[in-house]
Structure 1
Amino acid sequence: MATKKKKLKLKSLSASRPPALKVAQSISSKATRTLIRAHHTLEKQKARALADGNDAKAAGISREIESKGGLSTYQKASLLGQSNDRGGDSSRILMEWLSPIVPALKEQLATGQPVRMLEVGALSITNACSRSRLFEIERIDLNSQAEGIKQQDFMQRPLPTSQKECFDIMSLSLVLNYVPDAVGKGAMLLRTLLFLKSKSSSHVPEYLPSLFLVLPAPCVNNSRYMNEEKLIAIMTALGFVIVKKKLSNKLVYYLWRLESPTTKRGLGFKKEEIRSGSSRNNFAIVLR
């Protein structure tokens, strides 16, 4: 990551997600969680140091990250934490939610115009959505883990030039929380509006076009700056309505249908404290 202060602004996501790991070794689920939490904490401290222009402190934190195994060890833990044998395939939830419209999805497939899905931050080509064979899926990630996943930064992806190039469904599963600053998180959500089809072009308007959003549960239930009420307010301001949600101890899952994009509306969601306490995390979304 660059050490100049001006590089902190989220022009891309490459500063926030680690490089590919070629070989995954066994790590216990407890050790996996500990490693991921520690790495996130250090990355946030590094981002704050860069924001303050303290390059020396940022460099010191980088050395500490490397001393703990570096990004490759973190990527190994991340992959294991999301593996099927640990119940980590979030797309299983999405397929459950879409079950009422499976007949419509099959009809679309039979016409040669399948429902299009963009999976951002894809780690696998064998998840539940892929196995269903109901979608035309495009998978991207900053550091491709497999053939069939394009190495691409969503924030740098060329914009669609027509509805045909847009998507019926977008998946941001454990992606938004990797973005290192609150403004960048807001920018990512705003950018999804440019890639989703219009509701008028959807063959299943009660569900599509939609955004599947998955976050660690503490981002919503233990943040100083975010709770579910505020998340819903942000998504509503962007033009989304909630279709489905599931809250667990570890993760929160949402399916948001896009009613009408509102990128030109004056948006003013700031980083304001909602909860106090030293045990809170700093997850926040800022829309300017």
Structure 2
Amino acid sequence: MAATKKKRPQKNLAAGRPPTIQKPKSISRKTTKTIINKLHLLEKRRLQAKSKGDKKEEDAINAEIEELGGLEKYQQASLQGQSDDRGGDSSRVLMQWLEPCVPLRKDAAAKGAARLRMLEVGALSTHNACSKSDMFEIERIDLNSQGEGILQQDFMERPLPKDDSEKFDIISLSLVLNFVPDPRGRGEMLLRTLQFLHKPQGRYGDSQPLKSSFPSLFLVLPAPCVSNSRYLDDGRLIDMMESMGYVIAASKTTQRLVYYLWKRESASVSVEKPFPKKEIRSGPTRNNFAIVVG
């Protein structure tokens, strides 16, 4: 009589990232995009069903998510998208922008000055371009980390800094905001970054490259979130960020991604005006990505 196989326990969407030391099997760019988009849509539908109290629909969507491979599959696709043959990790763009600051920081380090502090939210690896630059003291967090050097923590539940020693010169939100399923939650995440950043006045001395780049937020989104949304375009995002006290220091758009470096200009943590969900572009091919602030 054949031995009965034990069923593996099902994992839900919060089951955790696969260890970063494991190299995922190669999957095509088209498949990567399809997996990520499908899981985003299912997660949105799941939350809608949960808010309506429709347990049957929520369970059905959870089953569909599991059939696709859940968060593990999503993160495999994300890691594959950051591999060298797909253009490498997004922090390479950031380090290109910060190139004028590198010799200044190396000189400061030689004189015993502390490195700049970075908080990397949704970290996948400890070997990206920022890590190799030796420019930053980096704290890496992720909702479901299984990798060494990455703390398992929800940014929205991270304790607020007690003093300046616990604040950061730069925060990285690379392909993080788009996985927050609720538009208001995205706005709250952006606003919360201000509470973890240093105030801009007087921290970087007379160094113009440092003063023009820090303190800052590095934000990366899938390009369609900005280029093809009913509710968001580049102008509205700029207005939204400026209302929080950010100004755009650098930006870059590729076929797949949009990169921003937002410099904090205001010392206050507030929103000057609300940004509700409002249609600014119509058309059947538009997506529903939105950010609600205030």
Shorter-chain TM-score above 0.5: yes
Q: Which residue of 1 aligns with 2:9?
A: none
On the 8 A contact 1:237/1:262 being kept in 2, the answer is no
Aligned residue identity for 2:178: N
1:234-245 pair list within 5 angstroms: 234-245=240-251
Question: What is the CA-CA distance between 1:279 and the residue it aligns to?
Answer: 1.5
The CA deviation string for residues 248-273 of structure 1, in whole angstroms up to 9 with x for no partner, is 11100000110014434453110011
The CA deviation string for residues 106-141 of structure 1, in whole angstroms up to 9 with x for no partner, is 133232311111111100111011111111111111
Q: Which residue of 1 aligns with 2:48?
A: 48
Q: Which residue of 1 aligns with 2:7?
A: none
On the 8 A contact 1:17/1:178 being kept in 2, the answer is no
On the 8 A contact 1:215/1:253 being kept in 2, the answer is yes
The CA deviation string for residues 15-39 of structure 1, in whole angstroms up to 9 with x for no partner, is 9766112442222222222111111
On the 8 A contact 1:18/1:75 being kept in 2, the answer is no
* Worse-superposed segment, 213-222 or 75-84: 75-84
CA distance in structure 2 between the partners assigned to 1:44 and 1:85 by the alignment: 31
CA distance in structure 2 between the partners assigned to 1:30 and 1:281 by the alignment: 18
CA distance in structure 2 between the partners assigned to 1:18 and 1:249 by the alignment: 31
Aligned residue identity for 1:254: Y
* 5+ long unaligned stretches in structure 2: 1-11, 205-209
SS at match of 1:235: helix
Q: Which residue of 2 aligns with 1:142?
A: 143
The CA deviation string for residues 209-255 of structure 1, in whole angstroms up to 9 with x for no partner, is 01100000001011111000110011000000101000111100000
Q: Does 1:273 align with 2:279?
A: yes
CA distance in structure 1 between the partners assigned to 2:260 and 2:49 by the alignment: 32
Q: Which residue of 2 aligns with 1:92?
A: 92
- TM-score, normalised to structure 1, is 0.90
Q: Which residue of 1 aligns with 2:109?
A: 109
CA distance in structure 2 between the partners assigned to 1:181 and 1:115 by the alignment: 32
Q: Which residue of 2 aligns with 1:75?
A: 75
Please identify the structure whose Cα radius of gyration is greater: 2
Root-mean-square deviation over aligned CA pairs: 1.7
* Worse-superposed segment, 270-279 or 91-100: 270-279
SS at match of 1:194: helix
On the 8 A contact 2:243/2:272 being kept in 1, the answer is no
Q: Does 1:167 align with 2:168?
A: yes
CA distance in structure 1 between the partners assigned to 2:119 and 2:93 by the alignment: 16
SS at match of 2:249: strand
* 5+ long unaligned stretches in structure 1: 1-14
Aligned residues: 274
Q: 1:102 to 1:92 in 2, by over 3 A?
A: same
